[in-house]
Structure 1
Amino acid sequence: MTKPLRLVVTNPRMRSGTAIPLAWATQLGPFTAWLRAGHRSERTIYLRTYHLRRFADETRVDPFDVTTEVLVDHLGSRAWSKTTRHSIRASLRVFYGWAHATGRMMTNPAHLLPTFSPPLGQPRPAPASALAAGRATGDPRVRLMVELAATVGMRCGEVAHAHTSDLRETLDGWSLLIHGKGSKLRTVPLNPGLAVTLRALPRGYLFPGQVDGHLSASYVSKLVSAALPDGWTAHTLRHRFASASYSADRDIRAVQLLLGHASVATTQVYTAVPDDALRRAVAAAA
């Protein structure tokens, strides 16, 4: 049997020279355009196409020759975490739903894939010692990244995109307009000290770089993780912000707005219940 023509497609986040069949390469373009037309974020588009490229490279089956059995074998024969398996399953379902809806396939081989719920996350706020270590780093740029994650609750991508023009003055003080996931905007108040620091910066991106004029989210994440003790990341600083904010008034809706979550259920994953609340609950039952 003649082997399918191979097209080398490289991506800076993938292993160099990853090769996928030409049949796949010609379909990923229209699929990506369809995702953008649906206003999917660039991060989501990257994740979906990354999963599909890996699937194509590992199975070597043309996209419209794929059967449910091929998909099940791909999902069931690898030692992935439940979170990873759930994400890859979602990418395959979206792609084959698109292929079926647009007439590229008469059936949808992903329609009958086994269902399962993603694992429930647990709050993991960085401790005070981790925050202190981040604030003690010798690089002022990284110290500011740590501060934005820990006291404003910003994601790495939001930190990377922050611009001095996003500063807003209100009757109550200074706030920062944050460009969140899915092009959603939110405004978060700044503590006075951080506001002074940001206002003193030169006009432009807070962290200039080579990606559209600013650093990439992955590089921000790498820098912050390197400044923190082992096991703690920028994301755990965001968890710390969520948990501390919740402790102030026990207002989960306020924390949801500060974090930019679409659902309170997601916010609950970020907010650790204060120890004193647990102790009071136990004492009340005694």
Structure 2
Amino acid sequence: MTNTLWPVPSEWEKSLILWEQYLIACNKRPRTVETRIRAMRNFAREINEIPQNVTEDDIFSWAGRKQWAAETRHSKYVTLRSFYEWYARKNELADPTLYLPSIHRACPPPRPIPEFLYEQSLSDTNSRRTLLILRLAGNLGLRVDEICRANIEDIMPDLLGYSLRVTGKGGVVRYLPLPTTMHRDLIAAADPVTGFVFPGKINGHLSARWVGKIGAQALPGEWTLHTLRHRFGTISYRQDHDLLTVQRLLGHLQVSTTQRYVEPAKEAMRSTILAISI
């Protein structure tokens, strides 16, 4: 396991600072910048080379020692390509990541939390903050990093009441209708100065990682806030069977992504099997 407390070699520090500024200038999301910088700092600690001397063989030797899941390996390779595309161009060097392979990632099936477990978690939660986190994930389908940034300045009046403006991945903005109780509870929980519903030390609000931890602790077993988002997608689709509506509610750019959040109705699958069985 990498000790993230080890200092980054001094030969890397200036380049990583400049690259972080470059990512911000490219309008990358704060969480994307944080994730990529953290990954490159870990790489710098482990590679035992200064950045301009890292070769393709060094990278393959380093990556070949890792027992990563496909999703993790994909993320690491994306980060390495991003850094060295910038670094090689800036310093007129050959890009050592040019032949890093594309990683095939299996599409996992939808995994919505069962309704009785969601209801039980809501019932067992004594903390109003935790309860609101669970409801924003399960009732509105918000991502963890969207929940942590919830602010009453994003509550907008609409023709039928109020909606919450949510800025998701890629800067995609969507408006989610707010039930009366949700609107009331968001207003009541907000910090009177900053307006953040979950005030903290990360630009005035809690970090996404901490919100995810709070949510996971309130759920049984290995269920996470993301499974509540799957719950939202599945239940939403069963209301009117309109995948485009669910796509907009979840803030996806493509319908194919939304399909990974919608679990087919078990009753329909069972009735189909029974109908064709001899």
- The offset of 1:170, in angstroms, is 1.6
Match of 2:21 in 1: 33
Cα distance in 1 for partners of 2:35, 2:106 equals 19
Q: CA offsets, 1:49-100, max 9 Å, x none? A: 1111111111111111111111111111111111111110111111111122
**Which letter does structure 1 place at the counterpart of 2:168?**
G
- The offset of 1:185, in angstroms, is 2.0
* 1:66 lines up with 2:54 in the alignment: yes
For the Cα contact (< 8 Å) 2:200–2:206, is it kept in 1?
A: yes
For the Cα contact (< 8 Å) 2:8–2:44, is it kept in 1?
A: yes
Equivalence map 1:181-220=2 (5 Å): 181-201=169-189, 203=192, 204-220=195-211
- The offset of 1:269, in angstroms, is 1.6
Match of 1:24 in 2: 12
For the Cα contact (< 8 Å) 2:252–2:258, is it kept in 1?
A: yes
* 1:113 lines up with 2:100 in the alignment: yes
Match of 1:123 in 2: 110
CA-based RMSD:
2.0
Cα distance in 1 for partners of 2:162, 2:44 equals 49
- The offset of 1:111, in angstroms, is 0.5
Consecutive unaligned residues of structure 2, counting only runs of 5 or more, are none
**Which letter does structure 2 place at the counterpart of 1:80?**
W
Match of 2:66 in 1: 78
- The offset of 1:234, in angstroms, is 0.9
Match of 2:131 in 1: 143
- The offset of 1:174, in angstroms, is 2.2
Match of 2:264 in 1: 273
Cα distance in 2 for partners of 1:31, 1:189 equals 39
* 1:261 lines up with 2:252 in the alignment: yes
* 1:168 lines up with 2:156 in the alignment: yes
**How many residues are paired up?**
272
For the Cα contact (< 8 Å) 1:168–1:177, is it kept in 2?
A: yes
Cα distance in 2 for partners of 1:56, 1:85 equals 17
Relative contact order: is structure 1 or structure 2 higher (C-alpha 8 Å, sep ≥ 6)?
2
- The offset of 1:16, in angstroms, is 5.3
Consecutive unaligned residues of structure 1, counting only runs of 5 or more, are 1-13
Identity %: 35
